[in-house]
Amino acid sequence: MGNAFRRLAVGVLVLCAVLAAPLPWLSHAAAAVTATVAWSEPVGEGVVVTKYEKRINGRPVDIFVATVDLTNPYVKIVPLYGKDGRLTQKQTVLGHARASGAVVAVNADLFHLNGIGAPLGPVIDKGTIVSAPGVATWPTFGVTKSGQAVILPLAFTGTVTAPDGSTYPLRGVNKESFDPRDGAHSHINQLNLYTPAWGPTSYGNAKGAFKNVVELVVAGGVVREVRVDQPGAPIPSNGYVLWGQGQAAQFLKTRFRVGDPVQVTYGLKNDPGLETAVGSHILLVDQGRSVNPVDPGVSSHSPHARAAVGIDRSGKKVWLVVVERSADGDSKGMTLPELANFFVELGAWKAINLDGGGSATMVVRRLAETNPTPLNESPYSGQGYRAVPTAIGVLNTAPAGEAKGIFVTGPKEVLAGDTATFSFKGYDVHYHPYRVTPQEVVWKVSGPGPVETSGFSVRFRTGGTYTLTAQVGAASRQLTVRVIGGADVARLVVQPRELVLKPGETRALTVQAVTKDGRTFTLKPHQVTVTAEGAVGAVKGLSFTASATPATGHLRVAFDGAVATVPVTVVPFADVRGHWALQPITALAARGMVAGVAPDRFAPDAPVTRAQLAALLARLEGVETGTDNASPSLPFRDPIPSWAREAVQAMVEKGLLRGYPDGTFRPDQPVTRAELAAILDRYLGLTGRAPLPPFRDAAEIPSWAREAIARVAQAGVMKGMGDRFAPQRPTTRAEAATVLYRLLTMPDGPMAKR
């Protein structure tokens, strides 16, 4: 705000939850308000908080209104001031609310931002004047001992009597220097009193702001110390400090000595029997009409964040109002005339402005919540909520009762097999928070399959849509939960897609469900059933351990009726464990396409011979070998091992293998990589020209093998060794097995195209 009351920019964004439908407790004069009700809820006995959304000349404005019914015996309005009972120790409205247990709290008095920060208006608590009235022209909000709200100007009167009978008027109680707007200064030539409610020390010389100051420290009704132009004195817990300046200082100095008794009387000239009073500023509404309020000190005709309080004609209804001005511009604040008009719409008979701008804060303990939270966003983002000296608090004094309502939150969508855990918040018949225990919750479930319930949790076995009703005593809440099951799954994706394991080896599985709407969910062990088909091993959760002996089979992976299978092969070769070609060697061994050189040895790094390659190609072609037929007659001068004769004959007849010009086959001669490329080129029937990859040793490739190497490399069947092809290096058994495995497994490879 402007001038002496301008506030520093502070703020934190607080989002307000919006209830979806009008609620039955919205029974006040909202129908007369030309604004939209965003939400409304009771927060205590006789207290309803409503958020209004309004447009003023095209300007969006959010308004928070707490309507208090003083006819309710459990409602109590109290002043919230200082911290630990000390006026000069400010705290945020949230701090005030937490300390007092208020269900609603709104900032109250204006104060000097750069001063001590004591309230400019009065504070009356339980009929006791904690702080005297301030600016003479400002009316004050209060509640009488009979429970009637009032807005009226208050006038202070007091007298200090010396032992000789002389007197001096007492100007105020627990006030810092301010302009009373009554023609006289609050402290110059004035006598003021400071009680322990002010703080630990008295006003003193106000850090050099005043000279010619005398203070009497009084305890037990007797002067204990006389201080002249000194800093503040400790205030006795059983007494007070009288402060005088100028003429008042002269009175104290000349009329009192240490040990003298002191007589002080003070009160309100026009006290209507106040129990509570806090919050003082200019009138907005009087006798049901706007007074067109003007105060340049608070920028009355510019839109700002505002706080105000109003009462109805009976004094039994109170409106606490905070107008938001958000940093993001979603709510742009109000002028004081606009705020006055809004109070008229509410039905107010009288209303006054309170401190606004960065001080304007409404804190509410929302229905079923245990802690209060600010509703409005501070107009200055990033600096937190401002500490203020006073606030108006609303208490709910009702006793705890039985549950009246509950709020249940939790997942709206889960997977079959999942357990959904819900959070419960409740409120009792008096709108206190109600702590729900798991033992109290009773579930009623309607859906396509059985469920298991326990306390706050529900386990869904199968997919579908379920309607849940949670009941706690007489309170209940209905929820709908969609359970994704097998009918929603397009496919299950299991990794690895194939298991080729050594005996006793353990491998973890991951299972993902891809739904028909394109979403992917990673499934957990409790959601999936995995069974081993064939004597391939054992399953525990999503972990599989291979059997101790070679075997083939598969795993059946099921999720609520959706099924996937994973082939499993268990083949032992001790010398390929950890070898880079382990997977192709063991996969081919399980298919009977390769054999070891001994029961547990494969010799992966040994050269593959021409006879061994013939056997590999024969198996690839499905040629039966080792039959009872007579050994074939081969046109070679050198002997061929019996185990390879049929394979060699078949491959020679197909033109894949050839003898040497000297009439030999040379079965034990290693096959070079260039020779393997030429054989594969013939086997696959590759044609056309292909670019030769830029191998560094391209010059070493024989001319008869260049085109073959280019074609098999392009087909992805053979690859270089880094940036070299090594055409003259013998092909290892591991390399031969890998090439064969590629031919069998490449989805779009040469074998698939044959």
- So what's the pLDDT on residue 10? 27
pLDDT tens readout for residues 97-114: 999 999 999 999 999 998
Nearest to 511 by CA among 554, 551, 556: 556
- So what's the pLDDT on residue 626? 57
- Give yes or no for a contact between 297 and 306, defined as CB atoms under 8 angstroms apart: no
* β-pairing verdict for 36-44 and 47-56: antiparallel
Task: Quote the CA–CA distance of 466 and 171 in Å, as a whole number.
Answer: 71
- Give yes or no for a contact between 424 and 472, defined as CB atoms under 8 angstroms apart: yes
pLDDT tens readout for residues 364-373: 999 999 999 9
The predicted model gives 285-294 an average pLDDT of: 96
- So what's the pLDDT on residue 753? 47
The predicted model gives 82-107 an average pLDDT of: 95
Range with the poorest average pLDDT among 59-73, 401-415, 455-469, 633-647: 633-647
pLDDT tens readout for residues 419-449: 999 999 999 999 999 999 999 999 999 999 9
- So what's the pLDDT on residue 631? 63
The predicted model gives 37-51 an average pLDDT of: 97
- SS3 of residue 181 by DSSP: coil
- So what's the pLDDT on residue 610? 94
Q: How many residues does the chain have?
A: 754
Mean pLDDT of the chain: 91
pLDDT tens readout for residues 508-553: 999 999 999 999 999 999 999 999 998 899 999 999 999 987 777 8
pLDDT tens readout for residues 182-193: 888 999 999 999
pLDDT at 754 over 60: no
- Give yes or no for a contact between 220 and 260, defined as CB atoms under 8 angstroms apart: no
- So what's the pLDDT on residue 16? 30
Task: Quote the CA–CA distance of 388 and 381 in Å, as a whole number.
Answer: 18
Q: What token pair was written down for 261?
A: 């008794």
- So what's the pLDDT on residue 345? 96
pLDDT tens readout for residues 139-180: 999 999 999 999 999 999 999 999 999 999 999 999 999 988
- Give yes or no for a contact between 180 and 186, defined as CB atoms under 8 angstroms apart: yes
Task: Quote the CA–CA distance of 334 and 323 in Å, as a whole number.
Answer: 7
- Give yes or no for a contact between 279 and 309, defined as CB atoms under 8 angstroms apart: yes
Confidence band of 727 (pLDDT split at 50, 70, 90): very high
Confidence band of 25 (pLDDT split at 50, 70, 90): very low
pLDDT at 747 over 80: no
pLDDT tens readout for residues 112-138: 998 899 999 999 999 999 999 999 899
- So what's the pLDDT on residue 500? 80
pLDDT at 28 over 50: no
In the chain, what percentage of residues exceed pLDDT 70?
Answer: 93
Task: State the maximum Cα–Cα separation within the chain, in Å, rounded to a whole number.
Answer: 149
pLDDT at 211 over 80: yes
pLDDT tens readout for residues 634-687: 889 999 999 999 999 999 988 889 899 999 999 999 999 999 999 999 988 888
- SS3 of residue 576 by DSSP: helix
- So what's the pLDDT on residue 634? 87
pTM for the complete prediction? 0.72
- Give yes or no for a contact between 206 and 88, defined as CB atoms under 8 angstroms apart: no
738 phi/psi in degrees, rounded to 5:
-65, -45
Cis bond leading into 750, ω under 30°? no
Distances 290 to 337, 338, 531, 604 between C-alpha atoms, Å: 7, 9, 80, 98
pLDDT at 381 over 80: no
Q: What token pair was written down for 645?
A: 């004769």
Task: Quote the CA–CA distance of 214 and 478 in Å, as a whole number.
Answer: 70
Q: Which residue has the higher pLDDT, 598 or 236?
A: 236
DSSP single-letter state for residue 124: E
- So what's the pLDDT on residue 32? 57
- So what's the pLDDT on residue 103? 98
